[in-house]
């Protein structure tokens, strides 16, 4: 009498148990609660709530394609990851209570929360699930304020680049200009390239848009990196044009006219960057489709049987 083996059970999507979902939600809410103070007090990070929505959408968009099979790692590794996470969170909270709510304290707490999420996903689901949801976690750091140790070199570097390019371009245009630190002197007219004029806000917006749009529209990691680099270049170039236009306006029409168009020029840079990112996304998506079609055609040619010679 023959016995037939039952068919193998179909693979089921990885499930996140409510007991695991609660710690995940608690860590995310704690993280957002801490950063919400920075978002309300720092003008350069008012877009933080937008990042929350975008990161949530990225996680939700990944949910249907989560790994069908995964295995939690050994319990020792999540514990080893959670221990430094607890230390970083404790350090950030003590610094806030004893000194002030600074960007450095928020960065320490943010790294700790990210490590906690890593430990939970690895210990409850597995490495494949963690890698699948890694980008939404990393994307959230776009809204984490940078400590002064990192922020000042970025801002001062942008100020120097913009002011040098301005002076050189104004000289080509026949306008005598001299750079004095972050101030451009054109005769008796002085135009300062301050922190707001350095382009750091448009740079942050461009990085956020390039990461989000690139993840949704592109599949190749190399093209995503190229897309991000071009997005950053668009922001710097747009702010260079803005600063050049403001300097030219101050030289031709005076500082009063400069103040009148200053804010509208800033919004024009954001619009320029947004349109540029969208057009670049369309171009690179089409290029990726052409590459995929060419590779598919080449593989079909390789699979065709070669005719036998008599």
- Going by the DSSP 8-state scheme, the letter that residue 5 receives in this structure is P
Dihedral sign from CA coordinates of 162, 163, 166, 171? negative
Rounded to an integer, the average pLDDT of 231-255 is 84
User: Has residue 286 got a pLDDT over 80?
Assistant: yes
- What confidence score (pLDDT) does residue 165 get? 87
Strongest mean pLDDT among 161-175, 195-209, 296-310: 161-175
Q: Beta strand 189-192 with 183-186: parallel, antiparallel or unpaired?
A: antiparallel
Angle at alpha carbon of residue 153, lines to 151 and 156, rounded to 5°: 105
What are residue 180's phi and psi, to 5 degrees? -125, 90
Q: Does position 92 have pLDDT exceeding 60, yes or no?
A: yes
Q: What is the DSSP string of 140-208?
A: GGGGSPPPHHHHHHHHHHHHHHHHHHHHHHHHHTT---EEETTEEEETTEEEE--TGGGTHHHHHHHHH
Mean pLDDT of 120-145: 92
Torsions phi, psi for 186 (to 5 deg): -125, 85
Q: Name the region of 200 (left: φ>0; alpha: ψ -120 to 50; beta: rest).
A: alpha
CB 105 within 8 A of CB 96: yes
Which residues touch 218 (CB under 8 Å, ≥6 apart)? 224, 227, 281, 284, 285, 288
Mean of per-residue pLDDT scores for the chain: 83
Segment 20-41 mean pLDDT: 90
Structure tokens at 52: 């929350």
Q: How many CA atoms lie within 13 A of 211 on its CB side?
A: 19
Distance of CA 271 to the CA centre of its chain: 18
* pLDDT tens digit sequence for 254-278: 777 777 777 777 778 778 888 888 8
- Residue 246 CA to residue 217 CA, distance in Å, equals 35
- The answer to whether residue 7 scores a pLDDT higher than 60 is no
Label residue 132 by pLDDT band (50, 70, 90). Answer: very high
For 94-117, what is each residue's pLDDT tens digit?
Answer: 988 888 888 899 999 999 999 999
- pLDDT given at position 9: 39
User: Of the candidates 246, 78, 247, which has an alpha carbon nearest to the alpha carbon of residue 179?
Assistant: 247
Query: To the nearest 5 percent, what fractions of the chain are helix, strand and coil?
Result: 75, 5, 20
Residue with the bigger pLDDT between 305 and 202: it is 202
How confident is the model at residue 292, as a pLDDT? Answer: 83
* Measured distance CA(227)–CA(236) in Å, rounded: 14
pLDDT at res. 1: 44
**Distance, CA of 217 to CA of 31 (rounded, Å):** 28
Give the pLDDT score at 238.
Answer: 85
pLDDT at 198 over 70: no
What pLDDT shows up at residue 117? 94
Q: Taking 80 as the threshold, does the pLDDT of residue 84 lie above it?
A: yes
In the chain, what is the greatest distance between 2 CA atoms, to the nearest angstrom? 105
pLDDT > 90: percent of the chain: 29
The residue among 236 and 263 whose pLDDT is bigger is 236
pLDDT at 152: 81
Closest listed residue to residue 198, CA positions, set 130, 115, 266? 266
| Pair of tokens at residue 127 | 């490495």
Range 45-55 average pLDDT: 91
Whether residue 128 has pLDDT greater than 70: yes
DSSP helix/strand/coil, 38: helix
Placement of tokens 């221990």 in the chain: 83
């Amino acid at each position: 009498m023959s016995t037939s083996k039952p068919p193998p059970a179909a693979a089921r999507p990885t499930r996140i148990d409510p007991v695991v979902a609660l710690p995940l939600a608690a860590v995310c809410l704690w993280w957002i609660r801490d950063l919400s103070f920075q978002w309300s007090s720092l003008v350069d990070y008012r877009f933080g709530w937008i990042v929350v929505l975008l990161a949530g959408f990225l996680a939700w968009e990944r949910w249907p394609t989560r790994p069908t099979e995964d295995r939690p790692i050994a319990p020792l590794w999540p514990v080893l990851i959670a221990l430094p996470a607890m230390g970083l969170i404790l350090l950030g909270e003590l610094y806030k209570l004893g000194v002030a709510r600074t960007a450095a304290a928020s960065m320490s707490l943010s790294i700790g929360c990210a490590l906690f999420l890593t430990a939970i996903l690895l210990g409850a689901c597995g490495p494949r699930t963690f890698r699948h949801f890694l980008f939404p976690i990393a994307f959230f750091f776009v809204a984490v304020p940078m400590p002064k140790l990192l922020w000042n070199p970025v801002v001062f570097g942008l100020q120097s680049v913009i002011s040098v390019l301005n002076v050189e371009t104004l000289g080509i245009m026949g306008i005598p200009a001299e750079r004095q630190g972050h101030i451009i002197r054109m005769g008796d007219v002085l135009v300062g390239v301050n922190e707001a004029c350095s382009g750091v806000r448009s740079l942050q917006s461009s990085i956020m848009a390039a990461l989000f749009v690139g993840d949704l529209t592109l599949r190749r990691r190399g093209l995503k990196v190229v897309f991000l680099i071009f997005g950053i270049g668009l922001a710097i170039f747009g702010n260079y044009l803005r600063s050049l236009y403001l300097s030219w306006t101050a030289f031709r029409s005076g500082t009063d006219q400069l103040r009148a168009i200053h804010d509208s020029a800033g919004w024009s840079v954001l619009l320029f960057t947004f349109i540029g990112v969208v057009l670049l996304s369309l171009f690179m998506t089409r290029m990726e489709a052409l590459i995929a079609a060419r590779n598919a055609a080449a593989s079909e040619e390789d699979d065709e049987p070669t005719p036998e010679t008599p």
